[in-house]
Amino acid sequence: MKELSVKSDLSSALSKAWRIAREEGFTSLLSTLRGYCLYHLRDKWRFVYFEYPLEREFLAFEGRELLTIKIATREDFDRIERDIFPSLVGDLEYDKRYFKLIGQEGIRCFLGEKDGKLIHYSWVFLSAFNSPIMEVPFDKTQLRKGDIFIGPVFTHLSARGLWVYPCVLSAIIRYLRQNQYGEKVLIFVDGRNAAARPFYERLGFREIPDAVRANWLYVLRQKVTATIP
C-alpha cells in the first residue's frame, strides 16, 4: 500500500520543532507540542465519519456568488501561496503540506475562485487507501476499493457563509460520477461541530456506525481523554 507522501515522520517532526524553537522561541515550541499532543490524544478520536454512495443522484447547488471552480495544476501554486497560505495559521497550517501533491496521480485539489482571488480548496483522494483517512483512527478494515476521500476543505474567511463549499462539493460529486472514479465518498468532521452533521445528512451522507475500531488502545485512550477538558 502506497503511503501518503505528506505523512510526517519523526525526523521531519523534530526538524520542525527545531525550526520553531529557533525562529519563534521556546513558548511557541511548547504550544506547538501541546497542540500536537492534544490532537493525537484527544481531537482525532472525536471525528465522525460519513459516506455517500456515488450511484445516488446528488443535490446540485448553484452559488449565490459568482464562483469559478477548477482543478489545481502546478501553475496555480504561486497564486495559492499568495491568496490562501496567509490564512492557513494555527491548526490549518498543517494543510500547507498537501499542496506539494498537486498534479500527483489519483489526487485532485479543487479550487474556488471569486473576484479573481482563490478563496477555497477541497482535496479529493481517488483512493481512500492513499488519503488522510489512513492517518486517523478510522477502522481501516471497512475501507474498500472504490472508496474516495474528500478533505481537507477550506474557505477563506472573507467568503465564508456563502455556500462556497456546498457548490464545490456538488461539482466534485458531479465530476466523480461523470468519470466513474469510484463507488463511495468518505469524509470526516469534528464531532463537536454541531452544524456539520445535519449539513451532510441533509445532502444524503450517512454517518458510518462503529467507524472507530474499539481495541484496547482505543478504550485506554477514551479513559485518558475523558480526563482532558
Ligand X SMILES: CC(C)(COP(=O)(O)OP(=O)(O)OC[C@H]1O[C@@H](n2cnc3c(N)ncnc32)[C@H](O)[C@@H]1OP(=O)(O)O)[C@@H](O)C(=O)NCCC(=O)NCCS
* Spatial CA neighbour of 68 closest among 118, 109, 102: 118
Is 19 or 160 the residue whose CB approaches ligand X more closely? 160
Considering only residues 127, 130, 155, 170, which one is a binding residue for ligand X as defined by CB under 6 A? 155
Is 29 or 119 the residue whose CB approaches ligand X more closely? 119
The least CB distance from residue 18 to ligand X, in Å, is 28
Cell numbers representing residue 205 in the block? 451522507
Per-residue contact flags (x/-) with ligand X for residues 197 to 216, judged by CB under 6 A: --x-----------------
Using CA atoms, how far apart are residues 132 and 43, in angstroms rounded to an integer?
Answer: 15
Using CA atoms, how far apart are residues 121 and 190, in angstroms rounded to an integer?
Answer: 18
- Asked whether position 151 contacts ligand X by CB under 6 A, the answer is yes
- Asked whether position 36 contacts ligand X by CB under 6 A, the answer is no
What part of residues 58-117 is at the interface with ligand X (CB under 6 A)? none
Considering only residues 60, 144, 152, 214, which one is a binding residue for ligand X as defined by CB under 6 A? 152
- Are 204 and 52 a contacting pair, CB within 8 Å? yes
Of 31-39, 71-79, 157-165, 210-218: span binding ligand X (CB under 6 A): 157-165
- Asked whether position 54 contacts ligand X by CB under 6 A, the answer is no
Considering only residues 126, 154, 173, 205, which one is a binding residue for ligand X as defined by CB under 6 A? 154
Give the torsion sign (CA, 130, 39, 51, 71): negative
* Spatial CA neighbour of 190 closest among 224, 163, 152: 152
Phi/psi of residue 132, each to 5°?
Answer: -60, -15
CB crowding 38-53: b at 16 or more within 10 Å, else e: eeeebbbbebbbbbbe
Considering only residues 67, 153, 172, 176, which one is a binding residue for ligand X as defined by CB under 6 A? 153
- Asked whether position 196 contacts ligand X by CB under 6 A, the answer is yes
The least CB distance from residue 14 to ligand X, in Å, is 26
Q: Which amino acid is present at 134?
A: M
- Are 218 and 226 a contacting pair, CB within 8 Å? no
What part of residues 160-179 is at the interface with ligand X (CB under 6 A)? 160-166
Task: Please report, as ranges, the residues that interact with ligand X according to CB under 6 A.
Answer: 151-155, 160-166, 189, 193, 195-196, 199
